[in-house]
């Protein structure tokens, strides 16, 4: 049998992710697992409109499983006409999807009919096309199971509450789950009059229409919310599709740039658990004032660090969402010395490198010298940190990150939260110095590190091909899909 015949004999699944690395990374890792571990031919449908350099580099990676094929959807002709310059991230994502999914039916018809299509939350319009083609749709929820439970509850909350959720006198009580403080509500539901809320509610209201839901988590990490989704009467009555925890699905390797190699060489010379790694995700940005406070705080702490830094942005904390990975195409931020306090880079060059835009995060987190991860608490970075046994300093910036920070600090026990002036204000240099010393030097930091190590072992066990809970969860669905063949 030829290679082409062998590939065509395999069961076929199509996978579709929204724009943004936080969505693309886990669905691409999911695709690789299906192809490499479960014997599937996988068509990864790529929305190339507005694609960042990091997205392009990831999807063109060498050494992909031979059964995984990246297929670019035809670019939408009118995308620039529907996007405004100041369009918020979620609205922009949904408009890009709305325009690009017009070609989905023709693309699916051009492929060998998939046994299923797996798409993320903001791709619920695939339901209509796939219903017409008799292709079952599964959703891959790229955030926590706690946020997934809230998403299922949101249409009920929308019907039952008058006025703004941020004006409620007490936390939001999702049935069977830990209460969500009003200040931790995700950005997209803090103003019910804006388009972002309407888009989020629209997609959440269609989740129950899927054949099943994949969650990028595992049983030990979020037992309370997983139990609620499976057992609480509210979720049965929606009804909620079967849920399949398959995480943590995270990147295993990354290409090394010259700067990345220098970072790792510097780490090799540092003591165990002595370095704070500071990185705010593929989209996070800070104001000039906040960058100055971070710099002085790191100096005051007298601790080692690696600081992945972007040029300041005064507009939004998600300013790099569609620009991730500019350094891949040799388009990087300005020299950090041009916007950091005068002399900072020179004074701290032995204590910690300042790295423009990007560092090899997986390799840094895996290194024994890394003692803490100062993170924005995006779900991908959260899983990467926990899966490598690294405790976190939680500094949420946007979207659901405040909710994640609270879960990590209070429920999971692997993080300490920074205190902001006025609740959502500046983090001062004194606070920065305090939390860095607490996690690297203090007894609390040692306790967080022990807890993180426990979850590192738990994560590895969940993914183990011999009875790991996440591996078995995906295997069960894979068997169902193969039966359809």
Whether 388 is a known active-site residue: answer: no
Class of residue 22 by CB neighbours under 10 A (exposed 0-12, middle 13-18, buried 19+): buried
405 vs 282, higher pLDDT: 405
Tens of pLDDT, residue by residue over 430-449, are 999 999 999 999 899 999 99
pLDDT of residue 84: 61
Among 23, 244, 367, 376, which one carries the catalytic annotation? 23
* CATH code reported for the domain at 3-249+463-484: 3.40.50.2000
pLDDT at 481: 96
Whole-number Å distance between alpha carbons of 113 and 180 = 42
Angle, alpha carbons 294-299-301 (nearest 5°): 90
Mean pLDDT of 413-421: 92
The verdict on whether 120 is a catalytic residue reads yes
Enter the DSSP assignment of 420.
P
Q: What is the mean pLDDT of residues 295-305?
A: 96
Could you tell me if 261 and 161 are in contact, meaning their C-beta atoms sit under 8 angstroms apart?
no
For the chain, the domains span 3-249+463-484, 258-459
Q: Which of 12, 38, 120, 187 is catalytic?
A: 120
Closest of 18, 41, 215, 25 to residue 122, by C-alpha:
18
> CA–CA separation, 217 vs 30, rounded Å?
12
Buried/exposed 362-399: b ≥16 CB within 10 Å, e otherwise: bbbbbbebbbbbbbbbbbbbbbbbbbbbbbbbbbbbbb
Query: Does 158 have pLDDT greater than 70?
Result: yes
Looking at domain 258-459, what is its CATH homologous superfamily?
Glycogen Phosphorylase B; (3.40.50.2000)
Average pLDDT for the chain = 91
Tell the residue number behind the tokens 């010395």, with chain if given: 337
Confidence of residue 85 (pLDDT cuts 50, 70, 90): low
Average pLDDT in the 351-371 region? Answer: 94
Lowest-confidence range among 95-99, 366-370, 423-427? Answer: 423-427
What's the sign of the alpha-carbon dihedral 410, 413, 419, 425?
Answer: negative
Fold match, 3-249+463-484 / 258-459: yes
pLDDT tens readout for residues 234-254: 999 999 999 999 999 999 888
Pairwise CA distance, residues 276 & 365, whole Å: 10
450 pLDDT band (50/70/90 cuts)? very high
User: Given the structure tokens 């780490």, which residue do they identify?
Assistant: 267
- Residues 6-58 have pLDDT tens digits of 677 899 999 999 998 999 999 999 999 999 999 999 999 999 887 888 888 89
Sheet holding 275-279, edge to edge: 354-356, 304-309, 275-279, 370-375, 392-394, 415-417
Chain centroid to Cα 271, Å, comes to 30
Residues 333-338, mean pLDDT to the nearest whole number:
81
Does 318 have pLDDT greater than 80? no
User: What's residue 127's pLDDT?
Assistant: 97
């Amino acid at each position: 049998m030829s290679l082409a015949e062998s590939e065509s004999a395999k069961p076929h699944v199509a996978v579709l992710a929204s724009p943004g690395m936080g969505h693309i990374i886990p669905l691409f890792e999911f695709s690789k697992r299906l192809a490499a571990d479960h014997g599937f031919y996988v068509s990864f449908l790529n929305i190339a409109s507005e694609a960042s350099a990091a997205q392009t580099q990831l999807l063109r990676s060498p050494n992909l499983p031979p059964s995984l094929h990246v297929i670019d959807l035809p670019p939408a002709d009118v995308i620039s006409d529907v996007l405004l310059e100041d369009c918020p991230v979620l609205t922009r994502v949904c408009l890009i999807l709305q325009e690009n999914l017009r070609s989905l039916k023709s693309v699916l018809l051009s492929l060998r009919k998939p046994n299923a299509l797996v798409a993320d939350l903001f791709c619920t319009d695939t339901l209509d096309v796939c219903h017409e083609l008799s292709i079952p749709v599964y959703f891959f929820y790229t955030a926590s199971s706690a946020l997934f439970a809230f998403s299922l509850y949101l249409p009920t909350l929308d019907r039952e509450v008058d006025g703004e959720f941020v004006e409620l006198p007490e936390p939001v009580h999702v049935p069977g789950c830990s209460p969500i403080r009003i200040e931790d509500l995700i950005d997209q539901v803090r103003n019910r009059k804006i388009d972002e809320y309407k888009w989020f509610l629209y997609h959440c209201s269609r989740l129950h229409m899927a054949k099943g839901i994949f969650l990028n988590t595992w049983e030990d990490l979020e037992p309370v919310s997983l139990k609620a989704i499976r057992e609480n009467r509210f979720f049965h009555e929606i009804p909620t599709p079967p849920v399949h925890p398959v995480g943590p699905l995270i990147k295993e390797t990354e290409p090394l740039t010259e700067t990345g190699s220098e970072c790792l060489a510097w780490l090799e010379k540092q003591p165990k658990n002595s370095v704070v790694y500071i990185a705010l995700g593929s989209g996070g940005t800070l104001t000039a004032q906040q960058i100055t406070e971070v710099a002085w705080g790191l100096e005051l702490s007298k601790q080692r660090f690696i600081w992945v830094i972007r040029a300041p942005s005064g507009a939004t904390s998600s300013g790099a969402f569609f620009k991730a990975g500019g350094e891949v195409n040799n388009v990087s931020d300005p020299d950090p010395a041009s916007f950091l306090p005068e002399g900072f880079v020179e004074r701290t060059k032995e204590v910690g490198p300042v790295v423009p835009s990007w560092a090899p995060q997986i390799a840094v987190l895996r290194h024994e010298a890394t003692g803490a991860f100062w993170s924005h608490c995006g779900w991908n970075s959260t899983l990467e940190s926990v899966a490598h046994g690294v405790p976190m300093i939680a500094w949420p910036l946007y979207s659901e990150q405040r909710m994640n920070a609270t879960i990590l600090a209070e429920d999971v026990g692997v993080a300490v939260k920074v205190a902001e002036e006025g609740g959502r204000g500046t983090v001062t240099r004194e606070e920065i110095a305090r939390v860095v010393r607490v996690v690297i030097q203090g007894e609390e930091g040692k306790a967080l590190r022990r807890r993180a190590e426990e979850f590192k072992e738990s994560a590895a066990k969940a993914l183990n091909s011999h009875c790991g809970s996440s591996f078995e969860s995906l295997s069960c669905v894979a068997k169902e899909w193969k039966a359809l063949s």
